[in-house]
Structure 1
Amino acid sequence: MLSEKTIAIIKSTVPVLEVHGTAITKRFYQLLFTSHPELMNVFNHANQRQGKQQTALANAVYAAAKYIDKLETILPAVKQIAHKHRSLGITAEQYPIVGQNLLQAIKEVLGDAATDEILNAWAEAYGVIASVFISVETEMYKEAEEQHGGWAGYREFRVERKVRESSVITSFYLVPQDGGAIASFEPGQYVSVKLDIPGETNTHIRQYSLSDAPGKPYYRISVKREDALPGKPAGVVSVYLHEQVKEGDVLLLSAPAGHFTLDLKDARPVVLISGGVGLTPMVSMLNTLADTKSDRQVTFIHAAQSGDFHALKQQVEEKVNQTSGATAHWCYAQPTAQDTGVFHKEGYIDLPWLQEIIPSKDAAFYFCGPTPFMAHINRLLLQWGVPAADIHYEFFGPAGSLDEESEKAAVTN
C-alpha cells in the first residue's frame, strides 16, 4: 500500500498532468522506442502517428493519479487495457522498462518541477499500479490458454473463405491450421492478427472484432479497407489483407479478448447501434441472440454512407427475420439511386427517429463506430434520459473520450 505522503504527492501532480500529460507520453514513446526498438513490433504505428496512443496513455496516467487513493475506481479501465495487453502478448518483464522510460519522460518534460520527491513518489506509485496490471493479466493469460480450445501466444489460422461484403469491407473466415478446437468467446470480443508484411521493417498487430456468433467451427473478422485520405496514409494492414491475403493463406491469431461484451444475463430489450465497420461486434451480438433463440426484444440500427458501403445487410435481415421481436433499421447519409426503397432514413440518426423505432428507453444500449458517430449517439441517449449504466460502447483502437470536443467533430464533419 502507498503511504499517505506518497498519495498526497501524486494527487498534487494531477493539475500538471492535465496540462502536460500528452507531452509526457509523447516523449515517453520516443524514449521507449529508442531504447527498445523491438517494441515497435507490438505497438500500432498508425495510432502513434495520429497521436491516439499518446492521448490514451496520458488519460490513463491522469486517471491513475486522480484516483491513486481509490484504485478500485479505475479497475474497469485497467481490465479494458489488460485485455488489449493480453491480446498483444505484453509481458510482466516489460513493465519495468515502461516505468523507467515514463519517469524519464516526466523528468525531461517537467524539468525542475519534477523534484526527487515527486519522481520517487511516482516510482512507488507506478510499482503498485504495474502490480495490479500484472496480476490481472496473469489471470487472463491463464484463462486464455487453459480454456477448451484455448492457446498461448499466437496460433496459425487458415483463410478458409474470403467474402466481399461491401465496396470497402471484406470478411475472412478463419479455421485453425492444426485442425484442433477453437476457444469460445463472448459476443463483442476481438482477436489480434499478427502480420509480417513484405517491405515493412516491423511486425504489425491489429485487433479485429469477431463478426459472427461463438460456437462456429471458424472465427470471422470483417475488415474495412482504409484507403489514403488527405493527411492520412492508407492502412498498411487493411490494404494488405484486402489485396494480398487470399484463401488458403495462413494468419497468426491471438485468443479472443475484450471487455465490450453483450450481457447475456440481462433479459431486458437490447438496442444495437452501429456506424460503418462498427457493425462487426453488433452483428456478433445479434447472431448470438438469434442462435440461442433469445426472446429479448432486439432493435438493430445501422448507419452507412450508402448501400454500396453497407456490409452484412442481407445476413442481418435474415437473422432479424428468424428472431421473434427483432427489427432492423438502416440510415444512409448519401443514398444512391440504387438504394431506393432499401433504407429507412436519409441523413443522420437523430433523437426523434430513435424514439420512433425503439419501443422503450428501458433497454441495454450497445453502439460502435467512428468516435464522432459514437459521441453523437451517446449525447442523444443521454438527452433522452437513458441511464449511463445502460450505455455501452467500444473504441476501435486506443480508448478515447465521448466529450463535447468529439461531439463538435460529429457536427462539423
Structure 2
Amino acid sequence: MRIDLDNYREILDTLTRNKSRSLLTGFGIFWGVFMLVSLIGGGQGLKELLNSNFEGFATNSALVWAQPTSKAYKGFRKGRYWNMEYRDTERLRQRVPELDVISPILYGNGGSAYYADRKTSIDVNGVLPEYQFFNSPKMFYGRFLNDMDIAQKRKVCVIGKKIYKELFPGGGNPCGKFIRVDSIYYQVIGVDYNTSGGMTGSDGSKLLLPITQMQQVYNRGNTVDMIAVTGRPGVVMTSIIPRIREALGRAHTIDANDEQAIMVFNTEVLFQMMDSLFRGVNFLIWLVGLGTLLAGAIGVSNIMLVTVRERTIEIGIRRAIGATPRMILSQIVAESIVLTLVAGMSGILFAVFILQMLEMGNTEDGIVSAHFQVDFWTAIMAALAIAMMGVLAGIAPAARAMSIKPVDAMRDE
C-alpha cells in the first residue's frame, strides 16, 4: 500500500473535519491500550511485590521444625513434645546425601536494640554462614557472618533494614559500631536489606547472631528451633521429604509418617503455586486488555461506516473520474490505521508514564522493590496489535465504500 504526502493530508483533513467524533472514537482505542499495558506492567510489579516476601529464598528448599506428636509410637503417647538437636544436621547430611545446604536456626524471644538514645524492636536469630545460601542476603553495608565468627563465638551481628533506619537515622556505614541487645553489646558487621518475611523476622527487623554465640548467651544448649535445607541441583525437594522425616523420626523415636510432629515447609510447592497463580493472572490481564481493545476497534469500525455513508457522493465522484476500488480501499483502511495508531500509541505512552510513577513510589535508597514496567517486546506486540485492529476496523467500511456505484452515489442526497 503506497501512501504519498497528499494522502496523508487528506487523511488528516478527514479525521479533523469532525474533531469530537474522532476524539471520542480514538478514546476507545486509547483506553483499551492503556488498560492492556497498565495491567501487564502492574501485574509484573504485583508479582515482584509478592515475591519480595520470599526474596532470596532458594526455590528447592525446605524448613523443618518440631511440633507435638499426633500419633502414639513405640510406647510413647500421642501429644509428646520433642526438640530437634544440633547434631540432627549431621544426621541429615549422612542419611540424605541429596541435601546441599543444612543450616540450623535459633530464635530469640524478640526484644529491643539500643544505640545512643535510640531504640527499636528486633527479632533475634542465631544462624550459620551457610544460611545465606538458603535465604540470600542483600548486603547494603559490610558482610555476612563467616566461619571465624562461629568458631570464636564473636559478639557480632548483622542487622536488618528497619533496625538500621531506626538506630542510625542519619545514614552512613554503621559497621564497627556497637549496639546493645538486652545487656550485651554486639558489633555491627553488616546491614542486610533483604526484607523478606519468611521465618526469620519481617520488615527488616531481624538481627542475626552467630548461632554459637546465641547458644551461649541464651543458654540454649544443643537444641535448635528450625533447620533450613536446600537440595542439590536437579533434586526435587518433594521426593526427599519422606527421607528427611525418616532420619529425624529414627533419631527421636517418632513415627516417620507423623507429618504433624515433623513439620516440613516445602518452598518448592509455594513457588509452584505462585507461578500457577500468576499464569492465571496474566491470562486474565490479556483477556481483559484485548477485550477492551477489541471493543474500541469495533467502535472505530462503526464510526468509519458512518463516515463512509456521509461521504457517499464524494466516493461516487472519485469512482466516476477514474478511482479504482483498490484506491478507495486504501484510503479508508489508511484512515482507520492512522486513527487507531495515534490513539493506541498515546495509550502506551500514558500507561508507561503511570507505571513509571508507581515504580518511583516503590524506590527507596536507590533500590527498586518492584518494577512496574513492560518490556520492549511487549510494547512492540501491543503496537502490532493496534495496527492489526486498525486494519480489521477498516475492512468493513472499505468494503462498503467499494460497493458504491457512481450512478447510485449521484442520486444520493
Larger Rg over CA atoms: 2
Q: TM-score, normalised by structure 1?
A: 0.19
Relative contact order, CA 8 A, sep 6+: which one is greater?
Answer: 2
TM-score for both structures, normalised by structure 2: 0.19
